[in-house]
Amino acid sequence: MTLVDIEVELERRRGVLDLQSIVESAAEFLEDAPAREIIRWAAATFGDRMCLTSSMSDALLIDLVSRVKPGVDVLFIDTGYHFAETIGTRDAVEAVYDVNLINVTPSRTVAEQDRDLGPRLHGRNPDLCCFLRKVEPLNRALEPYLAWISGIRRDESPTRTGTKVVEWDAKRQMVKVNPIARWTQEDVDNYIADNGVLINPLHYDNYPSIGCAPCTRRVADGEDARSGRWAGLGKIECGIHL
């Protein structure tokens, strides 16, 4: 390693430490703040080095963030397995909201993955399929940014109960902002209704949580909202938020 390489690495580490200290103070200061105030803080702190991600289940987060930061980058992971309704929602979002929509794709098409790893990997090894088609593409897409905004909430699953409104994403060495972490489903429904937010039409067909088509089923009355994801596979997360 040359002297220049050492200096670059030291500067990178100093930057990481600075970001971590920002996260610690912001997480405490913003814990009880409204979602829009959390977003304003993120936009003021990170500017164009901030993006948000959306699964296109609805455009709630997109509506919230674009009101604070018009033209914000929105990353959508096009796995190649999405419902047609999800792709339609993505296209509608791009047409309606003041955002820069970035379509993120895996390194292999579905056909190439089937050729290399065998068909229906999602049924045989869903964790690997999610990694190849969701986690790895998102990791690449997030590299230019210092912070990303997600729409996860504490009430969605047991793995999300400890979510902070601002936290350090150690896996990606960047800041993760969760402005609606404290919201309930009732809060979500009220915001969508009050603001005319675009919503994936599959919600009206008993799909309260929408992922890839082969791994998502309708949910019966009384079932948990996420029970239709990876049903029977003992899996509740794709790996993006772990």
Annotated catalytic residues are 238
Cα gap 56→63, rounded to integer Å: 12
Residues paired with 175 in a beta bridge: 147, 168
Cα gap 51→175, rounded to integer Å: 11
Residue located via tokens 């239709």: 228
* DSSP string of 41-81, one letter each residue: HHHHHHGGGEEEE--SSBSHHHHHHHHHSTTEEEEEE--S-
| Euclidean distance between the first and the last CA atom of the chain, given in angstroms as a whole number | 33
Cα gap 131→122, rounded to integer Å: 10
- Tokens for 124? 């045989």
Instruction: Assess contact for 222 and 110: CB atoms under 8 A.
Output: no
- Listed residue (199, 182, 209, 212) closest to 33, CA to CA: 182
Quote the crossing angle between the two packed helices 35-46 and 3-29, to the nearest 10°. Answer: 160
